Chain A
Amino acid sequence: MTEHRESTHERHLQEVQALFIQHTPALRGFVLALMPDFGRVDDVLQETFLLVTRKAGEFKLGSNFLGWACTIARFKVLEIVRRETRRQLHLSEEVIECLCACEPEPDRSPDERLRYLDECLDQLAPQARRAIELMYRQAHKPAEIARRLKWNAESVYVALSRARVILRDCVRRKMNLQEVT
């Protein structure tokens, strides 16, 4: 009897862990929104994984896994925020709670978005593209990008925000087009 319960428990745990892996990109996106530092995301995700594993028993298969896991990830983010209040880098707890309360549904068809984004990158001017690549591909911070491109910091901020607008519009257009065709 006990053995049976244990193996059921084991199976449940494995399914929960599989769900975690399946939803990792979305979770990563969630954590990145609340904590834009690329270098911290893996830490938060790992701790989230451990907590998800520990609390797996509380999750009912078939219910909303991403919602549940995001609650746990949010909890982990808040832990960090509380711990590092003096560094003033993070959004306040209050703001994070408020943002999470109104988090929209996850993006539909992320794979399509990625593919369109790939096409849209060709529309950027070479220097803007370089800045985007240094940031998102090589995970450099704007100060380092400025140093590498021999720009001043302000030009980097401007280039990055313009590039993001262009890319976001481009991807949105392609998604809309796909919906009507």
Chain B
Amino acid sequence: MDASRLNFLLNRYLDQALTPAEKSELEQMLLASAEARAEFWEQARFHALLRRHGEEQQGRHLVFGGQVVAFGVEPQKLIRLPWVWATALAACLALALFVWLPGRNVDDEMFASEAVTIGVATLTRMVDASWDTAEEDAPQPGELLAPGWLHLREGLVQIDFFNGAHVIIEGPAEFEIISAGEMLLKTGRLTGNCPPQARTFKVRSPQMDVVDLGTSFGFNVQTNGSAEVHVFDGKVEVSRPGTAKPQRELVQGEALRASASGNLETAIADRERFPSRVDLEERARRLAMRRLNAWRERVTAPPADPSLKIHFAFESAEDNPVVLVNHGQTGGNGTVVGADWTTGRWPGKPALEFKRVSDRVRLQLTGEMASMTIITWVRIDALSNPRHALLLPDRPGPGTPFWNITRAGELLFGVRDQGRMNRYKSPRVITPERQGRWLQLAVVYDPATASVMQFVNGRPVSRHTLKEPTGLKLGAAEIGNWGRPHKSGPQPVINFIGRMDEFLLFDRALTPKEIRASYTAGQPAT
């Protein structure tokens, strides 16, 4: 056996560069010699080891490299944690979330270049709120906030700092998140709550700095530069901006005003003038009701989009709980198997709960589609199966699409072509903090632009080049499960675990703008 020739051929094999002649030469050697086969395994296993190392390194690089890079559009969102652990764990969590990220699959650079920093607070609630920023950059509920400026145009938001303090801010307001326990209020009105177990929380302003010592207080900075602090509970220390030495200490019921020129005067605390949690809840309730009513009007209002083939609004709980009415153009209703009715993204909105391995919705769609868009609203409660079916055809065949969520939280869309599967997998976008929240998921299959794009909450999370454009045929299919009525015996467990309260399928490619608009109109009122 020619060892150096074998070595050459094996290397060509691993680099996938064998010519047909070289390939048969290598095959002859492998068939003829046990020694050659042993060498094959040695080199091939090392090839696999290198790949495994490379994949792990790639994940690590994304966190610790020159910049933190993620493919997801909102990768900075981390799980909310008790304050004790939060700050210290933030970096570890980010690592856990990013380490797995493979460097392949995503072929569009635009998704690979978003730099993020580790956040220090969470935007937990947002009611009637809008930000003075491009819509696609606007923070969303559940999002982790990094240090930086935010400009709230209107509405109410609640921000939970990692040190345990939380603030309710009423727009218009301009403020800067400085750290896990510090912010600057340039203009606007806020109520701060700093439970005793939180470490000190500091709110700075151009006129005065307020250090919260386990209290509840209101803080208002006006555009003319004057500022006032009202203490509702406990006590705060007030100091001149940028100085550490406390100038005054205020206790419950006291207030202090600083004019633009810096003169101080005391007053009586007035809780009514500051946003409260009750306001927040009440406005959220009213907003949910408005959104639900507007949504119901849209669902029933003609004329519907003729490309909307299937539209399950999940509104049929009353008379016949096993029928899922289709408001789309094909007429065929869905059939609910097992799944129970529950509450959807707004109070009063029905949804189906998929919990047992047998829960599913059966549907039928005949005909072929050149392009396709699916939009659905789901609340994912667990990712414990290897795959979680969103939509699966009963019989995989040429042109059948499927859509899953992987255990790792990737959206996996695919189309079966002659004999092979073309898969399009997003980065890991269903991160732990997104579980248990209502999310809009969407996929657009568009041969015209030769692309498959997937979306979470109206934002693109992946874009792949279409491998082989084919017409799509769904046939009999299931939402939330895989129905193989013709097979018996053990079935793979790939049921969706969570709730769904809307499902739309179009036989055209919606634009990202349309997906975004659909999200905005349908978002929950957190």
Contact = CB atoms under 8 A, between A and B. Distances in A.
Nearest to B406: A46
Give the secondary structure class of A's interface.
helix
Interface in A23-67: 25, 28-30, 32-34, 36-39, 42-43, 49-50, 53-54, 56-57
B50 A117 contact: yes
A83 interface: yes
A29 B20 CA distance: 24
B48 A114 contact: no
Interface in B1-42: 7-8, 11-17, 20, 23, 27, 30-31, 34, 37-38, 40-42
A160 B13 CA distance: 12
A64 B420 CA distance: 30
Contacts, number: 147
A1 interface: no
Contacts of B47: 32-33, 36, 164
A43 B421 contact: yes
Give the secondary structure class of B's interface.
helix
Contact of B490 (A13, A38, A88, A95): A13
Contacts of B38: 102, 104
A179 interface: no
B104 interface: yes
Given A13-B493, A88-B20, A25 B52 contact: yes
Contacts of B103: 137-139
B13 A117 contact: no
Interface stretch (B53-61, B271-279, B301-309, B359-367): B53-61
Given A54-B489, A54-B490, A110-B49, A157 B11 contact: yes
Interface in B399-417: none
Interface in B99-118: 102-104
Interface string A102-116: 111001001001100
Contact of A114 (B27, B52, B58, B423): B52
Contacts of B262: none
B31 A98 contact: yes
A118 B14 CA distance: 20
Given A32-B44, A83-B420, 4 more contacts: A36-B14, A91-B27, A164-B14, A164-B47
